[in-house]
Structure 1
């Protein structure tokens, strides 16, 4: 199986030469779409390298993949698929940053009695609803570099008092980020976050050195809220099918419990 080569071949054969910017030829072309040599020329790589790439005998760098995505006029989904097939990270996402999908933001806004946030890479906070801001903190007060759940847990004193079992929560978050790091080694966002938290925080340095990993998807967290008192909330991580790098995190309580009523009181304060 050579999925990468098959994908490149299908895309170049389905591309109109005029769309690729090639001059019209007087005679009839013998092949559909672009020739290998034409793709190589447009991408500024050698024809032999491109031929071997399609044959599955060479690996492509991120720079080559970016050039091919542009030459072949790949849409966002096709570009992501290309990078996934090659086992590479698309640095366009790194350069531009993540943004919450509009569909997820609308879902957040409709959760009147459920605190919810959308997390991106390395627990970056991409979106939240008013009840989440009331439960945790107004995330909009923080610059984007600090709008990160792990950063807030380690650096914001309010979070240390908000969680009854802060150490368990913080260490679990470190383990989750450490696990994600294996999929994105050397990611600039990860490097900056780890360097900043390592500076002056012995807890983080110790936990990061321990190399503990865990994929936390659900659980129960105890809160000591300054307005509505103690709450016990069940949290769940839901992965978006249309944006797998974004997780919708919800916090709920069983109907009729004191925690459920406390959420209702908190929601009433911001209505």
Structure 2
């Protein structure tokens, strides 16, 4: 049985109801219109929303009635602006119309939320770090230091996962399956960075990687893209030997361009015991560390244990 027509009808009704609810919560003075005469119903009139969005009143009325009309992306954006929708509401509006939400291009410093730092601190048996929009390592825990090295010793572009994969010989030597992981990482990075095409920070990093790595120079023009996925990663640790982890990448809800990457040690190669011994060797060092973006003043460059 084909359920597509019923699904389409349900979406149109939900779209209409959402538009109506957003219109009814606004007063004329909220959008710079005179209050006018007494109103029988709450909120703006349909013709007022149509005027603000630059569309016809009849056509807008059809949208609120759930008729089978399809607004363009430009009209959806105009309606979102007219109805004073916040980013979450705008995304909801686009998804109800079965369209991809508008992509937001962020700028400025990236600050790791304190609850996420607390989570890192509590993950004592799992190496984990937080990546920013450019895959810079923004925060990490003690277990990550034990397995991958101290990110505190890296600065600027060097504290970036793509730079570590393609331009850091020590990091490359730790990755047993580099030949398979590196091209997959590059494809995921390209998919994540599409919103920032032309951004100077991204372009500088790409230029550095092209100059440093023949593999990056060969693979980048292929335009391969992948969405994040989990799997197993084998590490050749200089002190502990072969270690095997199961890794996963989790999006941070409050920060769309931020992700938590966590590595769970497996029994294979006695990884759990090896990690315990590595952590014991780090006794006395801070549990969770992090770093602010390159352009943040030096007093704020280190994020240690979050306040209680």
Q: CA deviation at 1:185?
A: 5.8
Counterpart contact for 1:218–1:235, Cα < 8 Å:
yes
| Aligned counterpart, 2:160 | 148
Counterpart contact for 1:163–1:224, Cα < 8 Å:
yes
| Aligned counterpart, 2:44 | 34
Q: What pairs with 1:107-256 in structure 2 (closer than 5 Å)?
A: 107-121=119-133, 123-140=135-152, 141-143=154-156, 147-180=159-192, 184=194, 187-188=197-198, 192=203, 193-199=205-211, 201-215=213-227, 217-239=229-251, 246-254=258-266
2:22 equivalent to 1:11: yes
Structure 2 residue matching 1:164: 3-state secondary structure = coil
Q: CA deviation at 1:269?
A: 3.0
Query: Normalising to structure 1: TM-score of the pair?
Result: 0.73
**Paired positions, count:** 262
Q: CA deviation at 1:24?
A: 3.0
CA distance in 1, matches of 2:155, 2:81: 36
Structure 2 residue matching 1:117: 3-state secondary structure = strand
RMSD: 3.8
Structure 1 residue matching 2:39: 3-state secondary structure = coil
Query: Normalising to structure 2: TM-score of the pair?
Result: 0.66
Larger Rg: 2
Structure 2: 5+ residue stretches without partners: 1-10, 64-68, 284-308
The 3 A distance-change label for structure 1 pair 244 and 46 is: closer
| Aligned counterpart, 1:89 | 102
CA distance in 2, matches of 1:110, 1:124: 22
Bigger mean CA deviation after superposition, 171-180 or 79-88:
79-88
The 3 A distance-change label for structure 1 pair 245 and 30 is: same
Cα shift readout 1:144-179 (whole Å, capped 9, x = no counterpart):
x66432232112222112212322221121132345
